[in-house]
Structure 1
Amino acid sequence: MDVYTKSFEQFAESQAKGSSELYYFLSKQVIEDAELMEIIKEIPLSQPKPNLFFASMHFLVARSESELRAYYPSLTVNPLPFSDSFEHFKEFALNHKNQLIELFRSRLVQTNEVRRAAYLYPIFSGIAEQTSKSLTLIEIGTSAGLLLCPDAYNYEYIEEKTSFKIENAMASIYLKSENKGERLPNTIHSNFKINTRIGIDLNIVDLNKQDEYDWMLALIWPEHSKRRQQFIEASKIANGIQKDLYEGDLLELLPKVIQSISPENQIILFHTHVANQFPNKLKKDFELLLKDLSIARSFYHVYNNMYDADLHQDYLENGKVIKEKIFQSPDGHGRWFYWS
């Protein structure tokens, strides 16, 4: 089994199963189809292959009048049975081969899962309470910067079959998530201030550009209507909030960014579901850089998918890494998490 076939098999069983009937079914069919696999082999090795392939198809189908639209819950009110979709799916892919390859070469898998803010929010509020400082958030792999605005959303947390709400804004969305771990601390009810919001990415997404906005929608799986609605609402909110977004190499940009932050602010550097795409050398260089930067300025590092799927809260000071907390792996779309 080559790397492409293996990636679709893993995607089907570990991601799509129980979450997207259409993508689960199509993944299984694609694996057995030599013509489609030839097209898929044009996807760069650095990108998650099933995600980029299905997003590219979703993007093109949404802009077409193809009968394939009738099988996408995101594009029609009453979708036809997914089990009848493959013949139309394959035909569309073969007819749009060149457009697909162009998307493979020009687009990235960089979702902006706003519901991840539900598990970041209690971490950030706890740090703000502990340090008695306003926060500066620096996000690596920021995409469109939606996670830089956690204080602009409302939250509904489910704990032990009960729920409670955190309300930050009158006209905000509610991000609903289940805490399957220990009860959340009282600090989550404390207001905290974010003075500066900084995002770094190789490719900053400008949601004011229709083409980029449509691509972000295409990355959301067809059945995930709640994710889609949350993205649409969060985009409206985040677009009205001042953020400094920098495009380029994080190893070059990060030292300048950190040096520019007032010592009155507590820096939290964070990234979610990003570091898994780092080559091993970049991971090592990134870790060494963080240690070097902490000699002059201490900061928190909140992250997952560096070497495991768990969520980590580290504190870096004087070149040393203090591992303060480890939270069991949260759901990739923020539907649940484990507080500890």
Structure 2
Amino acid sequence: MLNTTLSQQFLLFAKNECKGSSPLYEHLAYKIAIDEDLLAIASLIPQGQPAPNLLLAAVHYLLATSDEPLTHYYASLTPSPLPIQEVFPAFKAFVLSHTNELKTLLQERLVQTNEIRRCSYLYPMMTEIYDKHQQPLAFIEIGASAGLQLGMDHYNYCYNQQLAITNTENDIMLISENRGEPLPASLSKPPVVCQRIGIDLNPIDLRDTKECQWLQALIWPEHHERRTLFNQALPIMNEIDIQLVKGDAIQLIKKLSRTVEQEAMLVVYHTHVANQIPLELRHSLLEQLKEISVERPLYHCYNNLFDGQLHQDFMNQGTIESIRTMESPDGHARWFQWSNS
């Protein structure tokens, strides 16, 4: 019998996330949505994890070290992929013949896509905060994965193919389209960052080959630019002092905030993470931040907490002031809509 709830997840994934971004995953997700055998395997995924992303990433991970026929359909694994209309029989055969390995991955791994290009809309916020307060910034990222977004002031940016920001001699360039209001003038001056703390239930160690391979597997097959950016960021990350903490952010964030230098402006941020947190715990996170703000002011930059919009709030003495609210950006930050209010 078809698992209708899970089936709907794959249908929405195909329609809302893959269309126009990954023809392969769009095609596979529609097929999986009506296949009892594959939905049964996907049902092993722990609650709270996005099932389509995790199943497809697990298959991608196994394929990277395989020479089976399915590899010939993945743009990440062959220079001339075969037509996707013929892929599903090979996909299903691969999944059914690797069920035990997939079960292990689905139980042990998490969707921790470290989408570095999301820095494109976070970075302008940080430059503006620094410009306004003239205090070093202390970053705390929730759901930091390997911490790539904690290095945002060490990347180069290009907006709308004309506004270029150079922060490093490395070739890395985050290209994004701003479809909203003009970006702040503060963008031309990088912020001073004194601390970088990342909290994650399962932090990724970039020095571990298998961990790196998992992050690579989370990148969709056709997204060559995302893979390139990931590889370009690795040497930069080796030069940055980042503290990655394993655990639950709701339990740890108040304690970690007290390790931040008093002269710093605290900035807590998270992107595409809060939707994996149960609703009651999202409210708990907000209460924790309010309590921290009684001790010290902070900024909270986030999406997917209670809606899909991108928010920047200032919190002080337990009160929340909305600085800006932006329409939901592209999931991989190919575009966003900047707002000055």
TM-score by length of 1: 0.97
The unaligned stretches of length 5 or more in structure 1 are none
Q: Among residues 49, 52, 59, which one is paired with 2:51 in the alignment?
A: 49
How do 1:109-148 and structure 2 match up within 5 A? 109-148=111-150
Please give the alpha-carbon distance, in whole angstroms, between the structure 2 residues aligned to 1:27 and 1:60.
18
After TM superposition, the structure 1 stretch with the greater mean CA deviation from structure 2, 4-13 or 59-68, is: 59-68
Q: Which residue of 2 is the match for residue 178 of structure 1? A: 177
Out of 127, 152, 157, the residue aligned to residue 155 of structure 1 is 157
Q: Say which SS state the counterpart of residue 266 (structure 2) adopts.
A: strand
The amino acid that maps onto 1:109 is V
Please report the RMSD computed on the Cα atoms of aligned residues, expressed in angstroms.
Answer: 1.0
Shift of 1:144: 0.3
By how many angstroms is 1:241 displaced?
A: 0.8
CA distance in 2, matches of 1:251, 1:14: 30
Alpha-carbon separation, structure 1, partners of 2:253 and 2:271: 17
Does 1:10 pair with 2:22? no
Match of 1:257, SS state, is helix
Q: CA–CA distance in 1 between the matches of 2:34 and 2:200?
A: 36
How far residue 323 of structure 1 moved from its aligned partner, in angstroms, is 1.2
State the 1:17 CA deviation: 1.1
Question: Match for 1:44: what amino acid?
Answer: P
- Alignment-derived partner of residue 63 in structure 1: 65
CA distance in 1, matches of 2:169, 2:48: 41
Q: Which residue of 2 aligns with 1:226?
A: 225
Residues 172, 237 of structure 1: 8 Å contact kept: no
CA displacement at 1:2 relative to structure 2: 1.7
Distance 2:233 2:215 in 1: 13
Aligned to 1:339: 338
Q: Please list the CA deviations of residues 226-278 of structure 1 after superposition, one character each: whole Å capped at 9, or x if unmatched.
A: 11111111122113211011101212221121111122111101000000111
- Supply the distance in 2 between the matched residues of 1:209 and 1:326 (Cα, whole angstroms): 38
Partner residue, 1:81: 83
- The answer for the alignment partner of 1:278 in structure 2 is 277
Local SS of the residue matching 1:207: coil
SS class of match (1:149)? helix
Cα distance in 2 for partners of 1:270, 1:37 equals 34
User: By how many angstroms is 1:62 displaced?
Assistant: 1.1
Question: Equivalences for 1:201-280 in 2 at 5 Å?
Answer: 201-280=200-279
Q: Which runs of 4+ in 1 moved over 2 A?
A: none
Instruction: Provide Cα deviations, 1:201-225, integer angstroms capped at 9, x if missing partner.
Output: 1110011111110010000000000
- The one-letter amino acid of 1:14's match is N
Q: Please state whether the residue corresponding to 2:67 is helix, strand or coil.
A: coil
Residue type of the partner of 1:71? Y
34, 37, 47: which one pairs with 2:36? 34
C-alpha separation in 2, matches of 1:46 and 1:164: 39
Listed as ranges, the gaps of 5+ residues in structure 2 are: none
Deviation at 1:172, TM superposition (A): 4.0
Structure 1 residues 277-311: Cα deviation after superposition (integer angstroms, max 9, x where no partner): 11012111111111111111111000011011111
Query: Residues 152 and 172 of structure 1 are in contact (CA less than 8 Å); yes or no, is this contact kept in structure 2?
Result: no
Q: Per-residue deviation at 1:193?
A: 0.7
Q: In structure 2, what is the Cα distance between the partners aligned to 1:27 and 1:166?
A: 38
Aligned amino acid, residue 73 of structure 2: Y
- Match of 2:162, SS state, is strand
Distance in 2 between residues matched to 1:288 and 1:147, nearest whole Å: 24
Amino-acid identity (%)? 44
CA distance in 1, matches of 2:307, 2:87: 36
Instruction: Answer yes or no: is the 8 Å Cα contact 1:59–1:214 preserved in 2.
Output: yes
Distance 1:190 1:241 in 2: 19
Partners of 1:216 and 1:111 lie apart in 2 by: 6
Letter in 1 for 2:233: A
Q: Which is further off, 265-274 or 23-32? A: 23-32
Task: Report the TM-score when normalising by structure 2.
Answer: 0.97
On the 8 A contact 1:200/1:248 being kept in 2, the answer is yes
Q: Distance in 1 between matches of 2:84 and 2:59?
A: 15
In the TM superposition, what is the alpha-carbon distance from 1:180 to its structure 2 partner? Answer: 0.3
How far apart in 2 are the matches of 1:203 and 1:194?
A: 24
Q: Distance in 2 between matches of 1:163 and 1:37?
A: 45
